[in-house]
């Protein structure tokens, strides 16, 4: 599902213009990104936790040549689903 489709579902459910729903969805996603940039963690109760983690540098191998290469440290984003999400998706 794409952002536009999410906005359309919200617009239909709330009986608001599509453009307004798109603006709201965009603002929510922009806010999530900004919080992750500033704080590195975002907890949405009953949904889950987004966390920016830093991976340490490591050695890897080029699969074509077999040559060993050094990968620099980098940031990655993880998501840990909340209890309610796990329960609904996994039936646990």
Confidence (pTM): 0.78
DSSP strand pairing (68-71 vs 48-55): unpaired
pLDDT for position 92: 64
Q: Give me the average pLDDT of each 10-residue run along the chain (92 residues).
A: 95 96 97 96 95 95 92 95 92 74
- The Cβ of residue 14 has, within 10 Å, a number of other Cβ atoms equal to 11
Domain ranges of the chain: 1-39, 41-92
pLDDT for position 8: 96
The 10s digit of each residue's pLDDT in 44-67 is 998 999 999 999 999 999 999 999
Homologous superfamily assigned to 41-92: IHF-like DNA-binding proteins (4.10.520.10)
């Amino acid at each position: 599902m794409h952002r536009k489709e999410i906005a359309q579902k919200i617009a239909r459910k709330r009986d608001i213009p599509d453009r307004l729903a798109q603006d709201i969805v965009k603002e929510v996603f922009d806010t999530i990104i900004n919080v992750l940039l500033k704080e590195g963690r975002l907890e949405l109760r009953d949904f889950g936790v987004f966390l920016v983690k830093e991976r340490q540098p490591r050695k890897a191998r080029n699969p074509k040549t077999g040559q060993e290469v050094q990968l620099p440290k980098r940031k990655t984003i993880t998501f840990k689903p909340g209890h309610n999400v796990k329960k609904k998706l996994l039936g646990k």
